[in-house]
Structure 1
Amino acid sequence: MTSFGALAERYGRARRVARNQAMPAADSTTSRLAARGAFVLCFLLAWWAASSLVLRGVLPPVAATLGQVADLMTSHEFYAQLGTTAYRVLIGFSLAFVTSAVLGTAMGKSRRVESFFEMFILIGTSQPGLFMAMILLVALGLKESTAIVVLAYLATPLITVNFWQGSKALDRSLGEVAQVFGYSRRAVVRHVLLPQLLTPAFAGLRTGLGITWKYVVIVESIGLTDGIGYQVTRSFQLFDLQSVIAWTIGFMAFVLFLEYAVIRPVERRLFAWRDRPGGRLRPETHRDPAKESDHG
């Protein structure tokens, strides 16, 4: 039986290690926030220099534009247009992600499926997205359902690549070992396959969202009468560059909020098992036969 002194010693060592690991994490968070703040400051300084010295009279001033951004983001119109755009992205991306998960996993497991869809993936990852958007808008009509189809079609090949390569890189020996120990098929999928597919899934999520946010603005600009893209194009046609920039900043602010307030916290929670200190503490724990033989 392990003595109380040995347990206290192990507990104290574990607390010291955990505290030493937490301090660099806090410092790292502070440094990242400082770096992001420095980037924003440099951007604003470059904008001020360009609008005051290089493109004076062409590029709108920083203060006036940021004031319009504040007015825009407190108005009902902005959130109505943003909601329309976000809805199209959500539906189009969801269709692309589910399709890509099934298709990419099948391609990673079957050579026949891989050979059949390989050309589609190669064409889809290199085709001009603007041209395909124009073709589909003309063929299917200038309506919201067409915009969703365009987004799903353009995002599917790029997301599929992540699942395809991730499925091919699966350690199948782990599944065989789990089956030897009597794990059910459901348990193997949950505890062996899904954890290995989380990394390519999140890579596909970021790739797919990036593509759909880009192309939804293009589709709205050339074929629809509402949404952020339409508002930017309308301001451009009126030669109102300040409004173009204001709508763009508001749109990008929402995308950044989604990344830092939703996606990254979910990612940290799902991958927390990789950073748990318990796995690093075990190698440092040495067995002491003399203490373990103490039955005091």
Structure 2
Amino acid sequence: MSGAGTRPAGWLRTHATDVLVRLAALGALLAFWWWATARADSLFFPTPDTVFESVWNDWLKNFGESWSENFGPSLKRLLLGFGLAAAGSVAIGVAIGRSRRFGEYVEPIVHFVRAVPPPAFLPLFIILLGIEDVQKVVLIAVGVFPPILLNTIDGVRAIDPQQFETAAVLQIGWRRRITHVILPAAAPKIFAGLRISMSIAVILMVISELFAATDGLGFRILQSSRQYRYVELWAGIVVLGLVGTLLNGLLVAVERRVLRWSNV
């Protein structure tokens, strides 16, 4: 029998195979990119080596400057909007999940907001909130709010009623019921909503910075397009992909740590 903290040989072989398959898929994508752009020989479709050279020279080499002008402002807006939406949606989702009457009043509003594409709110928010960071944070928060909220509601409503009956018998107060019964039981669903919303947050971050912005990743990409710097434009897209992948990886790491008891 394997000792504590060790992995069975079968798991290691499977994990190694998964890593190799992913690396092979990435290599195939890069090879196809190289082949297609070399054949096209077009200014608009640069080869991977020129793009990654631009990623290093224009984005990463002077990281301090890039952080203050691009990464920092974008991540601040994204994380603030995402955090506000996560806190509010989980709180409201728990309330709706535990109260059918409250849900009957609120859920139609939630579904209405969910049905409106978040970018449609951008002109309205610019009029109401101006062009400063508040407008961008609110746009991100509004866009990521529904998925987290609906997943929280589903998670709370799926909790076994016996857990609440046990809590009542043990005379556990409502605060401890939330922190020790409701949130742990609904956590898998909540994290599913958070993962979906993180991708939406990155998209809305870029959209908000394409209009009436003076810094950020989206603004930098737009400036590259306007100035016909197509290699830098493609490099910005690659950087956005790396940022989104890193944020998703951090969220998955947090999820695995929080949910290690459930073996998900």
Write the distance in 2 (CA, Å) between the matches of 1:219 and 1:64: 28
Q: Are positions 1:46 and 2:32 aligned together?
A: yes
With over 3 angstroms needed to count, the CA separation of the structure-2 counterparts of 1:218 and 1:53, relative to structure 1, is: same
SS at match of 1:170: coil
Alpha-carbon contact 2:144-2:200 (below 8 Å) kept: yes
Write the distance in 2 (CA, Å) between the matches of 1:185 and 1:23: 45
Bigger Rg, which one: 1
The match for 2:154 is: 165
Write the distance in 2 (CA, Å) between the matches of 1:167 and 1:62: 47
Write the distance in 1 (CA, Å) between the matches of 2:97 and 2:187: 15
Residue type of the alignment partner of 1:264: V
The match for 2:260 is: 272
Write the distance in 2 (CA, Å) between the matches of 1:18 and 1:79: 38
Alpha-carbon contact 1:142-1:223 (below 8 Å) kept: yes
Q: Are positions 1:61 and 2:50 aligned together?
A: no
Normalising to structure 1: TM-score of the pair? 0.80
Match of 2:92 among 94, 100, 103: 103
Match of 1:217 among 206, 212, 231: 206
Q: Which moved more, 1:53-62 or 1:232-241?
A: 53-62
Q: Are positions 1:259 and 2:248 aligned together?
A: yes
With over 3 angstroms needed to count, the CA separation of the structure-2 counterparts of 1:42 and 1:138, relative to structure 1, is: farther
Distance apart, 1:185 and its partner CA: 4.7
Write the distance in 1 (CA, Å) between the matches of 2:205 and 2:5: 45
Write the distance in 2 (CA, Å) between the matches of 1:184 and 1:95: 26
Q: Are positions 1:148 and 2:137 aligned together?
A: yes
Alpha-carbon contact 2:155-2:187 (below 8 Å) kept: no
Residue type of the alignment partner of 1:256: T
Identity %: 25
Aligned length: 261
Distance apart, 1:91 and its partner CA: 0.8
Match of 1:207 among 180, 196, 219: 196
SS at match of 1:120: helix
1:1-296 alignment, distance < 5 Å: 14-15=1-2, 22-54=8-40, 56-71=42-57, 72-75=59-62, 76-80=64-68, 81-181=70-170, 183=172, 185-260=174-249, 262-275=250-263
Residue type of the alignment partner of 1:270: V
Normalising to structure 2: TM-score of the pair? 0.90
Unaligned runs of 5+ in 2: none
With over 3 angstroms needed to count, the CA separation of the structure-2 counterparts of 1:32 and 1:124, relative to structure 1, is: farther
Unaligned runs of 5+ in 1: 1-13, 277-296
Alpha-carbon contact 1:107-1:113 (below 8 Å) kept: yes
